[in-house]
Amino acid sequence: MNRLFPLFIFVVLPLGCNPGGDRCVRYNFYNQFSYRVTPTQWTTDGIAIDPTGQEAPPERIDELTHEVETCLADAFGNPPHLPDDVRRDADCLVETFTLPYDRVCLTVKIPDDWTLSCSGDQVLPRVAPAELCRAKGLEPSPECPCRWRGGIQDNSVIVVTPNLFLYKDPLVRMITSCNNPWMHPSLAACLN
């Protein structure tokens, strides 16, 4: 008597969005935001963009990304190596990183709930630590609180205002693992 055994094929799909899968390095940065992210555009280089109805020039995102990678390669070589003083000062988790950064591991979210700060800068509605504003010579107040202009969400999403003013900051952090790149001149030069 022949028995037929059913054959089951299981397909495992990730529950969360993890573009690029295991090839994307995740440094487990603190989530500064909790926006819903649904990309509707892509840059020529393949960076996903969720513009949320805002102007999001894909060519400018590619340009800024290339500027950061060129700066990092000039400062740290390719393959890059972060010296001990850079890792210590900028609070970096790793000694080396990969250039160019894998575009499938990056999404840009440009929320539509940004406002203008008291000084006329585009800011996001999430309040930032007051000491960060004070370090820039700005004194926050109840009328003019310190607010983020860009940051990281879910380790792979750069959240930034439409003018992309602070785009390079979270990008450098995501590429290098350095949580405070402003604290070392070699990294800070790549943020401008």
| Within a domain: 17 | no
| Within a domain: 125 | yes
Other residues' Cβ atoms within 10 Å of the Cβ of residue 101: 21
Which domain covers residue 80, as residue numbers? 29-191
| Within a domain: 11 | no
* Residue with tokens 């700066």, as numbered in its chain: 71
| Within a domain: 96 | yes
The domain tally of the chain equals: 1
Instruction: Supply the pLDDT for residue 2.
Output: 44
Instruction: Supply the pLDDT for residue 7.
Output: 36
Per-residue pLDDT of the chain in tens (192 residues, 90 and over written 9): 444 433 333 333 333 344 555 688 888 888 999 999 999 999 999 999 999 999 889 999 999 999 999 999 999 999 999 999 999 999 999 999 999 999 999 999 999 999 999 889 999 999 988 887 887 778 888 988 999 999 999 999 999 999 999 999 999 999 999 999 999 999 999 998
Burial label for 115, CB within 10 Å (0-12, 13-18, 19+), is exposed
Instruction: Supply the pLDDT for residue 30.
Output: 86
| Within a domain: 9 | no
